[in-house]
Amino acid sequence: MPAEIISGKELGNELRQEMKKEVDQLKNSGLTPHLTVIIVGDNPASRSYVRGKEKASDTVGISSEVIELPSSVTEEELLGLIDQKNRDASVHGILVQLPLPEQIREENIIVAIDPAKDVDGFHPINIGRMMTGQDALLPCTPYGIITMLKSRNIPIEGKHAVVIGRSNIVGKPVGQLLLAENATVTYCHSKTDKLTDYTKSADILIAAAGRANMINKEHLKEGAVVIDVGINRMEDGSLTGDVDFESAKEIASYITPVPRGVGPMTITMLLKNTIQAAKGLANS
Ligand code: NAD
């Protein structure tokens, strides 16, 4: 039986409708969640991501502002702007779109954002809180993946979850969230020997390597749940994931498509984090 497709677009839209109601209620009580997005330079991909975030905020009634800085901006100037937004009580979420030009050290920017406004969930305090099971603003892509699994009541406890990729924003944190749900987690990465030995035993496979179509049905166990995080731009301009969708869906039980899979969930969880931050629930 071919796999069931988990559409991040559909789930994201359902969640956004619920969020809109919540934001309306918050507004009625005098609180308008506000997101500040800072973009440096004119990287077209970054611009397109930022536009998507702005549009999505609008659909749920979150107010947002985009501050554009030239690629020549200094680290000091950017830190100054973050400090100003940290102090501004009307700003609930601050997001600095990555990557940044080379004169700016990303790690210095990430730690400068008030953890209570860190809606990307990248601050080491939020990562530490997540790892120790405390309330935290969670990184959006991993949070979206767990939400997708839960939306279908996919069992996680006791299952073998294999994560391909160990980046700070996707691979590492998604493994931690799966561990917190009592999965047995294996991390694979670019230095992993005999990758298929691991993927073949995965009940849940998270592919987050950024390598187009690297996973197909030969890598999978019958009935595996396959979450494709990869976004790879092909020569013809189309987008494809890390998973060969047509092949994998013959053997998987559930699978996420690319596009319209994890991507829309990432933005949805950003909105959720902004609402959480406005309510002051995380890091309280
Ligand atoms: P990254 O480049 O920081 O990390 C990639 C990881 O994959 C590394 O840890 C590396 O060790 C591992 N890797 C690379 N080649 C491998 C191979 N052949 N075998 C096993 N492991 C390998 O990337 P990232 O920021 O974690 O993003 C990963 C992918 O997910 C990219 O395609 C990115 O565009 C996409 N992404 C999607 C979303 C979304 O919302 N859908 C969000 C973030 C990233």
| Residues involved in catalysis | 53, 97, 120
The pLDDT, as a whole number, for residue 1 is 82
Confidence (pLDDT) at 284: 44
Choose among 141, 174, 147: nearest CA to 15.
147
Residue 277, ligand 1, Cβ within 6 A: no
Residue 277: C-alpha distances to residues 88, 116, 273 (Å): 13, 6, 6
Nearest CA owner, ligand 1 atom 35? 230
**Averaged confidence pLDDT in the chain:** 97
Ligand 1 site, residue 243, Cβ cutoff 6 A = no
Question: Does the structural domain 140-262 have CATH classification 2.160.10.10?
Answer: no
Position 282 confidence tier, pLDDT thresholds 50, 70, 90: low
Q: What distance in angstroms lies between residue 5's CA and the mean position of ligand 1's atoms? A: 22
**In CATH, which superfamily holds the domain spanning 30-113?**
Leucine Dehydrogenase, chain A, domain 1 (3.40.50.10860)
Distance 168 CA to ligand 1 centre (A): 10
Same topology for domains 30-113 and 140-262, yes or no?
yes
Q: How many helices (H) and strands (E) does the chain have?
A: 10, 11
Residue 273: burial class (beta carbons within 10 Å; 0-12, 13-18, 19+): buried
Record the pTM.
0.97
- Domain assignments of the chain as residue spans, ordered by start: 30-113, 140-262
Mutating to test ligand 1, I would choose from 50, 122, 141, 190 the residue with most ligand atoms within 8 A of its C-beta, which is 190
Average pLDDT over residues 102-111: 98
- Find the mean pLDDT for residues 34-59: 96
Nearest-CA residue for ligand 1 atom 34 is: 231
Residue 171 in contact with ligand 1 by CB distance below 6 A = yes
Query: pLDDT at residue 283 above 90?
Result: no
Segment 223-237 mean pLDDT: 96
Q: Whose CA is nearest to atom 4 of ligand 1?
A: 167
Pair of tokens at residue 96: 């600095």
